[in-house]
Structure formats: structure tokens, C-alpha cells
């Protein structure tokens, strides 16, 4: 049996995504410094190009640096453009009918990369201090114009980028249930080997 290599030969290396930076601002700030978290959430099932993500990132970053300061926020891009889109280019010049073959061998060439987004999936998040709440909302309102579809700005009830509620967070730290760990926290479970519990005692 003869194997054809036509399909494999048409796959070429796809272009690099435009967005390269996914964390902005004061990335190494501890979890206690920025308690407030604001999300920009997609309200449509769609594909967002890497160019649109880069434009929204630049827009939000510029507003924060101008109105809050470069060390008073931490933005995290929540989407990564891994999906490759392709195009089957058609010639539009005179006499193009002689050159192109229509839908024969229609596997296209890579055009760019996009991120596939679900409904209620966060596009970008920021953690700031409580006094900068309005600036965070305004920065994301401006970033929305760079992205297609409908988005919603949501002020989270969680502490920073963690999964724990703000009203319980400080009590859980004082009780030893949570241990600060960079931008996040470690949850100390009440079950497990005694040796693991003893290792955590100096940290608590």
C-alpha cells in the first residue's frame, strides 16, 4: 500500500502569538498586600485572537501605571492563545481561475493563534488594594473595547487570587489554617500524617 504525504506536507510552523507577557505590575507582592480582586469575564462562547489579548493587556496596564502606580497592582492574563486558525487563500486578480483549484486541497495555511473562551470564563484578573477599586473597574472597562463580544466586570468576594472568602481569610491565617505562600496560600488540612503537621509548625 502506498501512503500519501500530502496532508503532512501542508502543515507549516504557525506564527508566534502576539502576547508574550501574562503577569504585569508587582508580581512578587505577598498575598496580604492586595486583598481586592476584580475579574473581566466573557459572556459569550467565542475565540479571542492573541492580538486582541495583547491590545487589552497594554490598555489596562497603561491606565494602571498612570493612575495607580506601577507597584500598586498585579494583573494576570487568564487566557493563553493555543488554538491555531488557518486560511485557504483565494486569488482575486485577473485570470485567477486558471491558477486556483477551488476547494481541492483546501487545507489552509496558519493565519494566527486564538484562545477559545467559554461563557463566564475570566479573561483577565487584577489584585489591588481596596482604595483602588474604582481604578481597577475603569481599567477593565477600557480594556473591554479591545476584545470582541460581550464582557462583564465582576468584583470578587475572594481574597486576591486565592479561593478563600475575604470575611474568613484573616481569621483562617490567625488560626493557622492558612499559611502565606507568595501570591497564594497553603491550606493546612486537619487530616494526614503527624510528621507533616510537625513540619508546618515553625511556619505557623
My answer on whether 116 and 190 are in the same domain is no
Name residues whose C-beta falls within 8 Å of residue 49's C-beta, 6 or more positions apart in sequence: 18, 81, 112, 113, 114
CATH assignment of the domain containing 18: 3.90.1170.10
Identify whether residues 73 and 157 lie together within a single domain: yes
Residues 196 and 107 in one domain: no
What is the pLDDT at residue 94? 64
Q: 178-192 as b/e, with b when 16 or more CB fall inside 10 Å?
A: beeeebebeebeeee
Tell whether 66 and 118 lie within a shared domain.
yes
**Residue 196 shares a structural domain with residue 156:** no
- 58 and 117 in a single domain? The answer is yes
Residues with Cβ < 8 Å from 18, sequence gap 6 or more? 49, 50, 51, 53, 54
Shared domain check, 144 and 58: yes
Calculate mean pLDDT across residues 121-140. Answer: 97
150 and 122 inside one domain: yes
Q: What is the mean pLDDT of residues 108-128?
A: 95
The residue segments making up the domain with residue 184 are 164-204
Residue 184 is classified by DSSP as E
So what's the pLDDT on residue 108?
86
Place of cell 463566564: 120
Number of domains the chain contains? 2
Question: CA-to-CA distance for 56 and 145, rounded, in angstroms?
Answer: 8
- The answer on 48 and 140 residing in a single domain is yes
Check residues 200 and 198 and name the one with the higher pLDDT.
198
3 is a domain residue: no
Q: Looking at the structure, do residues 52 and 130 belong to the same domain, yes or no?
A: yes
- Is 156 part of any domain? yes
Do residues 160 and 31 touch, judged by C-beta distance below 8 A?
A: yes
CATH of the domain at 171: 3.30.60.300
Per-residue pLDDT, 3: 52
Residue 196 falls within a domain, yes or no? yes
- Which residues, at least 6 apart from 70, have a Cβ–Cβ distance to it below 8 Å? 25, 26, 64
Q: How far apart are CA 55 and CA 191, in angstroms?
A: 47
The reply to whether 112 and 141 lie within a common domain is: yes
pLDDT, tens digit, 9 for 90 and up, residues 32-86: 999 999 999 999 999 999 999 999 999 999 999 999 999 999 999 999 999 999 9
Q: Tell me: do 204 and 114 sit in the same domain.
A: no
User: Is 95 within a domain?
Assistant: no
Amino acid at each position: 500500500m502506498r501512503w500519501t504525504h500530502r496532508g503532512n506536507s501542508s502543515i507549516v510552523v504557525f506564527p508566534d502569538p502576539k502576547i508574550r507577557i501574562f503577569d504585569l505590575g508587582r508580581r512578587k507582592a505577598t498575598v496580604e498586600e492586595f486583598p481586592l480582586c476584580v475579574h473581566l469575564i466573557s459572556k459569550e462562547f467565542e475565540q479571542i485572537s492573541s492580538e486582541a489579548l495583547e491590545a487589552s493587556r497594554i490598555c489596562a496596564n497603561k491606565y494602571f501605571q498612570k493612575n495607580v502606580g506601577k507597584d500598586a497592582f498585579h494583573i494576570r492574563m487568564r487566557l493563553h492563545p493555543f488554538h491555531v486558525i488557518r486560511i485557504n487563500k483565494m486569488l482575486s486578480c485577473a485570470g485567477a481561475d486558471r491558477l486556483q483549484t477551488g476547494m481541492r486541497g483546501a487545507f489552509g495555511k496558519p493565519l494566527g493563534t486564538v484562545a477559545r473562551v467559554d461563557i463566564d470564563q475570566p479573561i483577565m484578573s487584577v489584585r489591588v488594594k481596596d482604595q483602588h477599586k474604582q481604578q481597577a473597574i475603569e481599567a477593565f472597562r477600557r480594556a473591554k473595547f479591545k476584545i470582541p463580544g460581550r464582557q462583564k466586570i465582576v468584583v470578587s468576594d475572594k481574597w486576591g487570587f486565592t479561593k478563600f472568602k475575604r470575611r474568613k481569610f484573616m481569621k483562617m491565617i490567625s488560626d493557622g489554617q492558612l499559611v502565606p505562600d507568595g501570591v497564594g496560600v497553603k491550606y493546612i488540612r486537619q487530616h494526614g500524617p503527624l510528621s507533616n503537621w510537625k513540619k508546618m509548625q515553625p511556619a505557623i
